[in-house]
Structure 1
Amino acid sequence: MDQGEVVEHVAIRAGSAGRPIVVGISGFCGSGMSTLARRIVEALPGAVRMRGDDFLDPARSHLRSADWDGVERQRLVSSVLEPFRGQQPGEFRRYGWAVGALGAPEPVPRAEILVVDLIGLFHPEALPSLDVTVWCDVELDVAVSRGMARDRELGRRHEALWTDVWTPNERDFAQRFMPREHAETLYASSY
């Protein structure tokens, strides 16, 4: 699907759900997840975005793991996704990268659609809490090249993390959990 088709698919699902829905966007690092999430929110009134980076553990996300252990899926599910889907009040805390700690409690947003973009999202801990699943369908080597270029443009020197940690984590996660197969929608990201 292209971006317009993804937006239309989300709008149809939201219109027929009868309750707020969660749209999970995942893919390899650098595949265009955040860009797609922002565009869906811009295109659909009543949609809000939850940045996946707010649910990464900064130490564990920089370590090798076969299941993206640094992705705090359980915290995301219990503090945001389930209260949102159940239209219940709740609070969550974003990870503040600038201060190196969880931030102050914030209320769970109220909206018709919550869009979450996150690596390692299509995992058994989180899949039951996602109403729509979109995979940014980009080959790993292409996604890594894009991500590394983006980081260089932003002045971030993460080459060793990309080659020694993030790319192997992506390969292991894809082999173990087959996230692409859990997506109901494949988005052909051109970034």
Structure 2
Amino acid sequence: MAEKQKTPLGPTGETVRQNIERIRQDKRLTYVELSERLTELGRRIPVLGLRRIERGERRVDADDLMALAVALRVNASALLLPSTAEGTVEITGAGAVDAKRAWQWADGRRPLHIPEDDDGTARMEFQREARPLGLRRYPPTEEGHQALKEEYGHAPIRRRRDGTLYREWPDGRREEFNPDDYNDE
């Protein structure tokens, strides 16, 4: 019987593997201790499984990734991206990307690529899909602010400290503003 060929890890899988090993060692956690933390969280990965992950012999699925992040006390991005904001990083599906932009993308702050002819709305549209209401940051630019005004009305849109948006009309009236209410989809 022919042996089943395993698909090699891609760049993100390799980064996850390296980060798990680095963070575990930085925190001076043994495989046993990390395995125990994962078991307490309800996502059992035995010591052998952790060793295989760090050697690149076992893939990390989405549930493993989240449990590992919780157990290592980091966010999922700390496992998914290289631990640098300098230079370029390899992102599965996107190729080589500026490291700082990759982190901003992973944090839901900006798209990986913004078209050159963007009128300032690319970030707004990205954040509408990537971040929950209250954590969105717009308008990102003066052009984006103008685009919002043109699309949603002429009253300036302002953001409170808690992240909620409101319109302030020339007569001083204020009303809550939810961009999702204006989504045509």
TM-score (norm 1): 0.22
Q: Larger RCO: Structure 1 or Structure 2 (Cα < 8 Å, ≥ 6 residues apart)?
A: 1
TM-score (norm 2): 0.22
